[in-house]
Chain A
Amino acid sequence: MLSVVTFWPLLVCAVLLLLPRTLPDRAYHRIWIGATAAELALVGALWAGFDTGGGTQYEQRARWIPGAGVGYHVGVDGLSLPLVALTSLLFLAVAVFSARERRRVRSYVCLFLFLQTVGTGLFTALDLILFFVYFDLSIVGMFFVIAGWGDGERARAAAVKFFLYTFLGSLALLLGFIGLYLAADPHTFDIVDLTRGNPLAGRGTYAGLVLLAIGAGLAVKTPTVPFHTWLPPAHTEAPAAGSAILAGVLLKMGTYGFVRVAMPLLPGSWRQYALTIAVAGAVSVVYGALVALAQTDFKRMIAYTSVNHMGYVVLAVGAAGTLAGTDAQARSLAVTGAVTQMVSHGLITGALFLLAGVLHDRGRTYAMDAYSGLAARTPRFAAVTAVAAFAALGIPGFSGFVAEFQILTGSLASQAVATAVALTGILITAALFLTALRRMFFGAPRLPPTLPDGALTDLRATETWSTGLLLAVALVIGVAPRWLLDVVEPAGRTLTGLVAR
């Protein structure tokens, strides 16, 4: 079942490549929406059949490279299922949003279908090498999206930077994985076996080095300060749909790696370096928010808020590794908050990037100073952006609050200073989003001089539906979060137990 879910988009891609080239763009687009909707339905079936207290489910194992201890092993639990669902939802939203893409539509659709398989595959992988393969392929796919559908020479430079930087990170990750493999007896890359065996227990420096390699690899992808500078150019130059996927799915691969690999496989070292990790998280939160506050480019600003939002996740997983002065409830609250934050950030920031795409489509620039009083001309665009901005700044009623509240309350006991510092991030993000809204949407109407008069359209139906879909799910999670938390909480408790052993 999981393999079907994973490879269905790739299968559709293969079929698309067999179809005659003369097919109109609209047909490709329709097929794409159909395929992603079917994928979402499949994931819905997965969710419906998921037993919340049942641990890892839908497991599949097959021999792949037995000589090297590598197997095809997939399955989902409460940590991965929400992310699988997020992936399918985001790709559907992106498919709907991309109705007006006219450049090499066949390749475009195929590339996104490929990325969908890669994303779903990564979140279901239970083998380190399988995980690594998807981790690397995601970089490849996104490289082509940025280089091929971004704007000009700058986009290609950003794509190269993105590729090389994150590729370096994934090499560090591979090094760490090999370190784990060598320590295990018998040698294996299987995550479940490694979790059970805990091969690096009591292996001081060696375990520390393995955590360093894995941590650095994941920190680049997350991204955590100071490994974040590939993100702003990649986001700014990528097309809107690419940015949404990059923020919504690819960044999650880093944070998901923490909860899937680093924490359960290296519990001793994780506890030892929990303070460092929590501090890195808190620094990312405040630093990301402050740098975002100083931006004049709307999309770049959102990119930096991603650093801020992902910082909360890192803070939470760091706090979950601190046993002193806490009880299991607080730690599992932090972990649950971290997973909720991943989902929430995917939904809300995904929507914000799509809206930034709308802005660029209308005004040909992301510079906030170029716009003023847009709310008078494009009321629907203004309203949806305002809602997305408030959701992103953590207003209750949207998923961001549910995540941040759990993270902050769960982390305070174990990492009091780091959490107190991170708390100010809430205020700074509020300030930056309000400033952006005020600059662009309120006041006297003014448009970029390059724009012909009267050529300003409000949100189109596809744009409204795609962003509305994401925000609606964020709203549902914010108002009634139990259906999500019931899935995440047992897995969070298991994880805190694994870290504490």
Chain B
Amino acid sequence: MSAVLWLLVALPLGAGAVLAVTGPRLDRWVPAAGVTAAVATLGAAVAAALLRPTARAPLFAGTEAGLAVDGLSAVMVVTVAAVTAAVLAFAVGEPGTRGDRGRFFGLMLLFSGAMLVTVTATTLGPLLMAWEVMGATSWALIGYRWRQPGKAAAADVAFLTTRAADLGLYLAAGAALAGGVTTLRLDALPRAASPWLHVLTAGVVVAALGKSAQLPFSFWLSRAMRGPGAVSALLHSATMVAAGAYLLLRTAPLLETTGWAGPLVAWSGAVTALALGLVAVAQTDLKQLLAASTSAQVGFMVMAAGSHGVAGGTTQLVAHAATKSGLFLAAGAWLTALGTKRLPALRGAARVHRPVGVAFTVGALTLAGLPPLSLWAAKDLVLAAARTRGTCLYAVGLAAAAVAAVYGVKALWYVTRPLPPDPGAGYDTERPGTRRVSRATPAPLLTLTSAGALLGVLALPGPASWLRRLAGAGDEPSPEAWELGLSAGVVLAAAGAAWWWAARPAPAREAAVAPVPRAVVRGARNWLFLERFARIAVAGPVLTLARALAVFDDRVIDGAVRRTARGGLAAARLARRLDDDGIDAAVRAIASGARSLGRWARRPQTGLLHQYYAQAAVGFAALVLIILLVR
């Protein structure tokens, strides 16, 4: 049984590793091999979802690496594998960098393999490993076209931001061990002893919010949009951002145990859904709009996880994954064909490339949450759960749903306009477009968006209770009839207003926004200035501190060493002087004294006999004198 599970994770990881190191020579075969591996992974995922295998291996002393497919994981593995297969099928048609397709397909497979490990991990060890590998591969994927300026820097921002949040998981692992959960099993985490339980929960929450691009980490998602379209379609729909939401859904019992974490998470999600929804409305770049909407939509999942609405959150996750990957692929197809992702320039794009246009329309309507499409139904499940946390949360969630209708409609409005007289004028702002859509493009696009639109059946009473059983969530609330009606009314009204407003001439629109303070509008356009804030509050001080410490290290610490060395030399010189001018001088003085004495002693010895007699006479006289005096 466990063979299926090992196959499920080893297949994409192994194939990805192999493809990533193939050189330019095998470039032609790479796309086919990559898609084959992805489809095989999808097969393994379906098999795993049916067989529910478990596998374990010893990891570090006492801890173990466990993988298992339970209900929630079953949904996740199929979603991840399906979206990966569709996105790779789309990427076949994308003109890749020559000689570099191995790197692209390999990294995509590695990435999705890491996501599969994340959603099947039953202990913190493999979860953290896969979590970090996802981060690293996302860096390589966002910076895939590193030759173009700004791409590598964008990848750095995305990776460093998510890794800053990832520190939470390291902390959580240590806290789990300290709190007595020696196996590091996820389902045993709520049994950790206090106060480690709270440290552990805080770590998990921070890591999840960071990965999911929730406030205050959302800005990395904006930077991540510098990556290729297919990368955005995979990373920012079913994986990466979904991983954070998944982790919170998985650890919902832990959030409940602490008491404070549930409300905190629910409110983080709700505020993100609303604030980033407004950011999405303010964007004029299609990919930026989609990115902000991703943060906002994931906010609903986070809100569900914090309100013990696991089934609702899961439905939202699956439906959003399919919808959003389709939308990103459509944006990517237009970017390739037309060379732009600016909304005003994309007027009429949906009319030119019909299959892409149809897919985008379905996706945008789903994203807007229009009834009866899937995200409307999913959001109602989420909102029903949120209502158990209080009316306030429910109201914010409903407002966020209305905002979602606005940004969904805004994107749709632009691309469905009649083609302007000179459409080419706005094209090629990013790179020269090919003016054609590859034959490989429409199939995965339509599959994804129609699946996204239809997955709402999961929210119908029958399938919903099935999903609830699957996710192990027993008594979650279902939306009441009036809730359904209310949300449908609010969303339709917001969508209608957005359409009507978009259709008005530009001066009238300007006048309509005039009452909104300029700062708010600028804030929404610039992603709430989150990145600037992170640079000023975190990156800047750290860099300044680093430079100051480098100077300190050189001048003070090494300076002390150098001074000690110089002190040693000075002491040595002093000792030399003492030695030369003191001890040795005394020795020399004694020697010269002796020498002069010797010289004096030599003087009488002249060798002349008469002088000797004279000396003897003097000596004798002196002797006599002494005797006379003494006596």
Q: Which residues of A contact B (CB under 8 A)?
A: 161, 164-165, 225-226, 228-230, 287, 290-291, 293-295, 325-327, 329-330, 332-333, 336, 373, 375-376, 390, 394-397, 401-402, 405-406, 408-413, 416, 419-420, 423-424, 426-428, 430-431, 434-435, 437-438, 441-444, 481-482, 485, 489, 492-493
Contacts and interface: CB of A to CB of B under 8 A. Distances in A.
Given A426-B170, A427-B164, A442-B143, 4 more contacts: A165-B561, A408-B173, A438-B156, A485-B61
Contacts of A230: 561
22 contacts: A165-B561, A229-B557, A290-B546, A290-B550, A293-B543, A294-B547, A329-B62, A329-B182, A396-B128, A396-B132, A408-B170, A409-B174, A409-B176, A412-B177, A412-B178, A427-B164, A434-B159, A438-B153, A438-B156, A441-B146, A442-B147, A443-B152
Contacts of B543: 293-294
A482 B58 contact: yes
A141 B371 CA distance: 78
| Secondary structure call for the B interface | helix
B149 interface: yes
Given A291-B550, A293-B543, A427 B163 contact: yes
A493 B62 CA distance: 12
Nearest to A439: B152
Query: For B58, B545, B561, which residue has the most chain A Cβ atoms within 10 angstroms?
Result: B561
Nearest to A295: B550
B160 A434 contact: yes
Nearest to B151: A442
A428 B163 CA distance: 10
Interface residues of B, number: 49
A229 B160 contact: no
Nearest to B134: A396
Given A401-B129, A426-B170, A485-B61, A413 B152 contact: no
A424 B167 contact: yes
B549 A290 contact: yes
A430 B159 contact: yes
B171 A444 contact: no
Nearest to B156: A434
Interface string B512-552: 00000000000000000000000000000011011101100
Contacts of A438: 152-153, 156
Contacts of A435: 156
Given A229-B557, A290-B545, A329-B62, A408 B174 contact: yes
Nearest to B547: A294
Given A332-B61, A409-B173, A419-B174, A397 B152 contact: no
A395 B132 contact: yes
Contacts, number: 141
A301 to B, nearest CB: 10
A426 B164 CA distance: 9
Contacts of B132: 394-396, 401
7 closest A-B pairs (Cβ-Cβ)?
Answer: A412-B174, A413-B178, A396-B129, A294-B550, A229-B558, A442-B152, A294-B546
Contact of A413 (B58, B174, B542): B174
A416 B195 CA distance: 12
A373 B149 CA distance: 10
Contacts of B146: 375, 441-443
B133 interface: yes
Contact of A287 (B136, B170, B549): B549
A44 to B, nearest CB: 24
B280 interface: no
A424 B168 CA distance: 10
Contacts of A416: 178
Interface in B557-594: 557-558, 560-561, 565
A333 B557 contact: no
B180 to A, nearest CB: 8
B61 A397 contact: no
A309 to B, nearest CB: 16
Contacts of B133: 395-397
Nearest to B140: A386
A426 B167 contact: yes
A395 B152 contact: no
B125 interface: yes
Given A294-B547, A294-B550, A406 B60 contact: yes
Nearest to B179: A413
Nearest to B21: A383
A330 B177 contact: yes
A275 to B, nearest CB: 17
B464 interface: no
A189 B577 CA distance: 41
Contacts of A492: 61
A5 B246 CA distance: 52
B295 to A, nearest CB: 22
A476 to B, nearest CB: 13
B359 interface: no
A405 B166 CA distance: 12
Interface of B: 57-58, 60-62, 125, 128-130, 132-133, 136, 139, 143, 146-147, 149, 151-153, 156, 159-160, 163-164, 167, 170-171, 173-178, 182, 196, 542-543, 545-547, 549-550, 553, 557-558, 560-561, 565
B542 A428 contact: yes
Which of A376, A395, A493 lies at the interface centre, i.e. has the most chain B CB atoms within 10 A of its CB? A395
A132 to B, nearest CB: 23
Contacts of B558: 229
Contacts of A373: 147
A444 B149 contact: yes
Contacts of A397: 129, 133
Given A294-B550, A434-B156, A438-B152, A405 B170 contact: yes
Nearest to B117: A396
Contacts of B151: 442
Nearest to A287: B549
Contacts of A405: 60, 125, 128, 170, 173
Given A411-B174, A438-B153, A485-B60, A291 B553 contact: yes
Nearest to B556: A226
A413 B177 contact: yes
B61 A333 contact: yes
Contacts of B57: 482
A326 B180 CA distance: 9
A327 B550 CA distance: 38
Nearest to A488: B61
Given A165-B561, A406-B60, A427-B163, A443 B149 contact: yes
Contacts of B550: 290-291, 294-295
Contact of A336 (B61, B175, B553): B61
Nearest to A444: B149
Contacts of A442: 143, 146-147, 151-152
A333 B177 contact: yes
Nearest to B177: A409
B60 A336 contact: yes
B553 A229 contact: yes
Contacts of A430: 159-160, 163
Contacts of B152: 437-438, 442-443
A494 to B, nearest CB: 13
A185 B182 CA distance: 42
Contacts of B153: 438
A443 B154 CA distance: 12
Given A329-B62, A426-B170, A291 B149 contact: no
Contact of B171 (A229, A412, A434): A412
B501 to A, nearest CB: 42
B61 A329 contact: yes
A434 B140 CA distance: 11
Contacts of B136: 390, 395
A412 B196 CA distance: 10
Contact of B178 (A326, A401, A427, A443): A326
Contact of B561 (A229, A390, A493): A229
B542 A423 contact: no
A423 B171 CA distance: 8
